């Protein structure tokens, strides 16, 4: 599932290709994704210039003068920019044609993604009540420590909760806890402020390195130019069950937490 680094990689890849371009046509080939693509979308966005593309959590916002197209990659989605008139491929559900004879296409085989409309000066409900962005100055160990007081849930589930910090999905939660030396089984309310400060630095470090590598491709994620994400080659614990720990002489273990796989070294993560 595309997580923050994959979404940010997509944003950075799209930015030079679509910003400043005018939308000349919009075609909805499959409206039923996670939420139905609004039928008014072509009429609403055609003729408008793309002013910027930003990211909030795992959502991409294609910003126009009258609002934003809010896109989500779901479980297996990707976005590409191809020449106008290129053959439509299977599972390409939405295309937005631009004024330079290119078209932006949303590809989503499992249809858990989204393409919604957000009016100017309004915020969709799914974007409300989100926690701090991990790569912004608002994110800190003090914030996580404050949010965690009295919580009994395990620390991995805690940092994957978008109300506490956005965008730390399953892969990067396991990796960040490894770097910080914290067991995913530890109760979030029992982690000290000092260790939260270390965890915060670890989250920032892991996400930053993942973005630099173009994200992580485990199954089918592809960047805008069709390349896989290469951070998968740098993973320390994720998907490494029964393999030797890269930091000590321990062995990586796999457990299931909240129906998600967690990987960790029981010897150096306490």
Q: Tell me phi and psi for residue 96, to 5 degrees.
A: -120, 110
Structure tokens at 258: 């909240």
Rg (CA), the chain: 20
- Distance in angstroms (rounded) separating the CA atoms of residues 112 and 193: 37
Question: Which residues sit opposite 217 in a β-bridge?
Answer: none
The residue annotated as part of the active site, out of 3, 6, 97, 175, is: 3
Give the DSSP letter string of 240-254.
Answer: -TTSBPSSSS-B-EE
The residue annotated as part of the active site, out of 2, 5, 134, 228, is: 2
**Active site (annotated) includes residue 3:** yes
**Active site (annotated) includes residue 56:** no
**What is the DSSP secondary structure assignment for residue 64, as one 8-state letter?**
E
| C-alpha closest to that of 139 among 167, 165, 161, 175 | 165
Half-sphere exposure of residue 104, counting CA atoms within 13 Å on the CB side? Answer: 27
**Active site (annotated) includes residue 8:** no
Structure tokens at 75: 């479980």
Place of tokens 């960047």: 223
The residue annotated as part of the active site, out of 11, 55, 56, 58, is: 58
CA 207 and chain centroid, separation: 10
**Active site (annotated) includes residue 15:** no
- CA 188 vs CA 167, 195, 199, 203, 265: distances in Å: 18, 11, 12, 15, 18
The residue annotated as part of the active site, out of 27, 209, 260, 267, is: 260
Residues classed as catalytic:
2-3, 58, 260
């Amino acid at each position: 599932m595309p997580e923050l680094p994959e979404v940010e990689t997509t944003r950075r890849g799209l930015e030079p290709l679509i910003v400043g371009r005018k939308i000349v046509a919009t075609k909805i080939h499959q409206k039923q994704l996670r939420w139905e693509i609004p039928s008014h979308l072509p009429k609403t966005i055609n003729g408008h210039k793309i002013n910027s593309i930003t990211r909030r959590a795992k959502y991409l916002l294609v910003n126009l003068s009258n609002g934003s197209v809010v896109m989500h990659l779901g479980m297996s989605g990707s976005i590409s920019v191809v020449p106008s008139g290129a053959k439509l491929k299977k599972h390409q559900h939405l295309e937005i044609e631009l004024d330079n004879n290119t078209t932006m296409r949303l590809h989503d085989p499992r249809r858990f993604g989204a393409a919604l409309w957000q009016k100017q000066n309004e915020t969709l409900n799914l974007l409300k009540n989100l926690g701090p962005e991990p790569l912004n100055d608002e994110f800190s160990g003090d914030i996580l420590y404050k949010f965690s007081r009295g919580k009994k849930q395990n620390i991995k589930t805690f940092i994957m909760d978008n109300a506490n910090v956005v965008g730390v999905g399953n892969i990067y939660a396991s990796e960040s806890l490894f770097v910080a030396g914290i067991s995913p089984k530890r109760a979030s309310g029992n982690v000290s402020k000092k260790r939260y400060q270390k965890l915060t630095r670890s989250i920032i470090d892991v996400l930053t390195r993942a973005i630099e590598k173009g994200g992580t491709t485990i199954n089918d994620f592809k960047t805008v130019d069709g390349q896989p994400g290469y951070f998968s080659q740098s993973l320390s614990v994720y998907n490494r069950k029964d393999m030797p720990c890269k930091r000590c002489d321990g062995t990586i273990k796999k457990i299931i937490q909240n129906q998600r796989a967690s990987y960790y070294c029981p010897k150096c993560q306490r």
